[in-house]
Structure 1
Amino acid sequence: MSSKELLGIISMALILVSAIPYIHSVLKRETTPTKSSWIIWAIIGFCFLVTYRDSGAKETMWAAVAGFINPCIIAIISLKYGLVEWTKLDTMCLIGAGISLIIWKAFSMPVVALMAAIITDGFGALPTIRNVWKEPHSEKPLAWFLFSIASGINLLAIDKWEFAIALYPLYMTIASWTIVWPLVKYHWLRKRKTASW
């Protein structure tokens, strides 16, 4: 096993582990997930999985596997514990996910489909980004912090720096830090112990 493969597996493991504190926090009602984001992320996770694989990803593919599993689990939990918001933006994100799957399947254009999935995922993240910037007390930072670190590790797992291979890990790293930053800042400024994260 190469060091790049090992980094990819570590990234996947850390992403899977990141769901544990998040789910625990949701079940204790300390975190309120945005239902629409998690449902969209579960669907987009599948889009990422198939389009990223077909784009030539190898070592970094493991993060996409975990990136599909976690949102599916959290989307199911959010049906009971999540914020009930469904907007036109959410509907557009579902349409975008469908379009990326059509591009992937019908036209055999995995890189274009991957870009469509990333754009759609970015729109799907907007409700959560808005929520954590407006109400950073609504979520704990540990899960997002672990996910952000895992995304950064996945960048290190890239064997060949090609656009199609680097796009997904770069996007995930930037998007996750956009979510984690206001959460960490909020808890840090209130001098909350990291054990409460």
Structure 2
Amino acid sequence: MAVRRNVNRGAMARLPQPCYNLRGFGSRWLDEMDAAFRDYAGYAATVLTLAGGTDYCLAILRDRENRPSRATWFIWAAANLLLTASYFAAGASQSGWMAAALSVECVVIAGLTIPFGVGGWNRRDLVCMAGAAASGAVWLLSGNAGIALCAFLAVDFFGAFATLDKSWREPESEPVRPWVLTVLACVANMATVDWATDSVFVLLFPAYMLVVNGTELALLFRRPAAA
């Protein structure tokens, strides 16, 4: 739904009448165009996110060389479900739909990692699980959507680290095309931010996603480090 900015009617009333009409029309038109652009960017981000997740699932089933990290996707599934709730509570609108799409994607892929993934309950995984539990406590006890959002971004990175580390060592273990689609989704999601009115908490999620997924994609285009 389009969102219109408030117009300073007191200042506008002091202008000559012909100029007031022209400026008022232009302001409303630009506001509606800007809101419509953010709407379409949000739809594009959601479609690209779901396309990337679907392609990732198919790549796992199609090629046994693609071995997703169990720790990453189970942590992401849990974190993103709670992150989506906190993100909407922080005031997100169009950009929040990408968070919802990511939640669905992560739950499905987490299920696929059970028969097709790699990794176990090593020390790194246990640390990440502890971080997720601690963030859940923060969510329940703080009652502050902004604090909860920051906590879950930290947990999300703990999950991402397992895949980033695996991609650094074995870039061939991850399919490239789904990550390309995901990065494009992140770029589109950045375009949904209303820089004039959105809070810093609304900006955090799309900015974080672009950095993390861009780093993952870059790792897939490098060779493993020499032993």
Quick check: TM above 0.5? yes
> What is the count of residue pairs matched by the alignment?
186
In the alignment, is the contact (CA less than 8 A) between 2:128 and 2:159 conserved in 1? Answer: yes
Larger deviation: 65-74 or 157-166? 157-166
Q: Which residue in the other structure is 1:38 paired with?
A: 73
Residue 85 of structure 1, CA deviation: 2.4
State how far apart, in whole Å, the 2-side matches of 1:169 and 1:94 are. 23
Question: Does residue 21 of the first structure (1) align with residue 55 of the second (2)?
Answer: yes
Cα displacement (A) at 1:138: 1.0
Whether 1:119 aligns to 2:158 is: no
Q: In the alignment, does 2:185 pair up with 1:150?
A: yes
Q: Which runs of 5+ in 1 are unaligned?
A: 187-197
* Post-superposition offset of 1:34: 0.7
1:100 aligns with 2:100: no
- In the other structure, the counterpart of 1:88 is 123
- 5 Å-filtered alignment, 1:1-197, equals 1=1, 2-28=36-62, 29-159=64-194, 160-185=197-222
CA contact (8 A) 2:164 2:219 kept: no
1-structure distance, mates of 2:50, 2:138: 29
Distance in structure 2 (CA, Å) of the matches to 1:16 and 1:87: 30
Cα distance in 1 for residues equivalent to 2:221 and 2:179 = 9
The structure with more radius of gyration: 2
Deviation, structure 1 residue 176: 0.3
Question: TM-score, normalized by length of structure 1?
Answer: 0.89
Q: Is the 8 A contact 1:100 1:114 kept in 2?
A: no
More displaced stretch, 154-163 vs 167-176: 154-163
The structural deviation recorded for 1:123 is 1.2
Give the superposition deviation at 1:88: 2.5
* Structure 1 counterpart of 2:168, one-letter code: W
What whole-Å deviation, never above 9, does each CA across 1:142-184 have from its counterpart, x for those lacking one?
A: 1011111101110111123421110000000000011111213
Cα pair 2:42 2:95 within 8 Å, conserved: yes
- Percent identity, aligned pairs only? 28
**Runs of 4+ off more than 3 Å:** none
Kindly indicate whether the alpha-carbon contact (under 8 Å) linking 1:103 and 1:110 is maintained by their aligned counterparts in 2. Answer: no
Q: Which runs of 5+ in 2 are unaligned?
A: 2-35
Q: Contact 2:42–2:189 (CA<8 Å) still a contact in 1? A: yes
Contact 1:47 1:97 (8 Å CA) reproduced:
no
Alignment-mate amino acid for residue 163 of structure 1: V
Distance 1:88 1:147 in 2: 29
